[in-house]
């Protein structure tokens, strides 16, 4: 048994005082409030929040940070640079990069991550021998960093409606939906034995990358118990192409294919119609907003408030890792709403904390994101007296703190980061520098 005590912690939807959390076997065994510390407690000085859940990640995109802005451009020109980096990856370099990125996440306060993974094969599009080499590399990276990994093996079959994969995309693809389903099933079996700590889910990259007949087959045959993710309506061009090819919006096409349900996590969901919003809300789907990426790529501001009001759950992700900071992502969600609406307080501080934590539970297929009995003992400690946070109402620290104020990170009852450094892997900047420049 390990006992943690904090002057304040986020319990439910509010700040509680004098909180003692007892952990056993990595899970929370008891939670007490209005207590005083004693000599047997591990004291956590600051506001304790549940561990942040990163509901959308492409680990290798971190290689692009600070390297794509010289000529302006658009999402589509950025994508060409992304393909270049993807083409250079092999299992060893991917493990090195992912280890550093996951360590950066942990030090910032992310304790679980959904990795939207599509770099499956060798650069010549041949399968690795032994198979699943890239997936195993990601699992080893997550284990080294101590983050809870949900690996979303992604179906990627076409470059656009009726278009074959481009040369730069061929290593992402499979022969057809049946081949992808078979490979996913094999991966799940391998990981059940080798990496039982990893949740293996699925993803369809986007409606432009998975033909209509493949979407329908996946809707009919994919195990309904596993998480399913999709990039949805990130760009107006995607919507226009889908309407031209099918007469439907991307959301309507997914719904017709049987893929819009409570287990769906729709990433971005930026350019939606009223009917799209109603359908996603009625299904209680999770909407994964990635505000810093959506700003960085010029995607636009998605209708997060309207989606939440319609019944969808809101989660947050770092996507391309232009920023790996849970508190800034939460703040950017609210700031985007303010800029779009001209009103403050579109999401309350409690709603922002929920989006940052338990909002991503379905997306990662885990019971996470709460300081509650039976849940994993995952939390981060926010310094209440930094240059950014001093004087803040504890209940509003989500609007003033940044990852620089995350003093300690606990995952499974074990300290994994302190003062911005990973306890096992060391200074995160050194790890990233070596990984990016190697």
Dihedrals phi, psi of 166, to nearest 5 degrees: -75, 160
User: Catalytic one among 153, 276, 299, 319?
Assistant: 319
Q: Does the annotation count 319 as an active-site position?
A: yes
Buried b (16+ CB within 10 A) or exposed e, 288-324: bbbbbbbbbbebbbbbbbebbebebbbbbbbbbbbbb
Which position among 121, 268, 321, 335 bears the catalytic label? 268
| Residue 268 appears among annotated catalytic residues | yes
Measure Cα distances from 53 to 9, 106, 243, 369 in Å: 17, 10, 33, 7
Structure tokens at 372: 């509650």
Looking at the annotation, which residues are catalytic?
Answer: 268, 319
């Amino acid at each position: 048994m390990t006992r943690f005590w904090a002057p304040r912690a986020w319990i439910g939807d509010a700040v509680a005082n004098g909180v003692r959390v007892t952990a056993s076997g990595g899970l929370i065994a008891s939670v007490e409030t209005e207590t005083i510390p004693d000599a047997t407690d591990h004291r956590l000085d600051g506001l304790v929040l549940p561990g942040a859940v990163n509901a959308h990640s492409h680990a290798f995109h971190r290689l692009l940070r600070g390297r794509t802005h010289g000529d302006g451009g658009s999402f589509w020109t950025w994508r060409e640079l992304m393909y270049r980096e993807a083409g250079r990856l092999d299992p060893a370099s991917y493990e090195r990069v992912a280890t550093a990125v996951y360590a950066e996440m942990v030090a910032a306060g992310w304790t679980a991550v959904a990795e939207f993974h599509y770099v499956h094969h060798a650069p010549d599009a041949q399968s690795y021998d032994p198979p699943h080499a890239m997936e195993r590399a990601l699992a080893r990276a997550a284990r080294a960093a101590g983050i809870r990994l949900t690996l979303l093996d992604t179906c990627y079959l076409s470059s656009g409606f009726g278009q074959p994969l481009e040369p730069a995309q061929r290593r992402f693809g499979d022969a057809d939906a049946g081949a992808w389903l078979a490979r996913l099933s094999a991966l799940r079996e391998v990981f059940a034995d080798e990496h039982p700590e990893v949740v293996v889910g699925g993803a369809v990259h986007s409606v432009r990358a998975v033909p209509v007949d493949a979407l329908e087959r996946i809707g009919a045959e994919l195990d309904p118990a596993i998480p399913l993710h999709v990039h949805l309506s990130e760009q107006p061009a995607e919507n226009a192409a889908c309407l031209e090819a099918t007469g439907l919006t991307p959301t309507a096409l997914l719904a017709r294919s049987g893929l819009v349900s409570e287990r769906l996590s729709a990433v971005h969901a930026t350019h939606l119609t009223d009917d799209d919003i109603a359908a996603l809300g009625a299904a209680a789907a999770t909407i994964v907003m990635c505000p810093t990426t959506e700003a960085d790529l010029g995607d636009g501001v998605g209708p997060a408030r309207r989606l939440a009001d319609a019944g969808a759950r809101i989660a947050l992700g770092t996507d391309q890792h232009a920023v790996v900071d849970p508190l800034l992502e939460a703040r950017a969600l609210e700031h985007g709403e303010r800029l779009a609406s001209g009103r403050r307080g579109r999401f309350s501080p409690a709603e922002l904390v929920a989006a940052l934590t338990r909002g991503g539970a379905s997306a990662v297929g885990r019971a996470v994101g709460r300081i509650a009995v039976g849940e994993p003992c995952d939390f981060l400690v926010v310094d209440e007296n930094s240059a950014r946070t001093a004087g803040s109402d504890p209940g509003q620290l989500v609007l003033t703190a940044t990852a620089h104020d995350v003093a300690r990170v606990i995952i499974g009852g074990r300290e994994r980061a302190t003062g911005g450094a990973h306890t096992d892997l060391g200074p995160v900047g050194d790890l990233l520098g070596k990984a990016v420049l190697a």
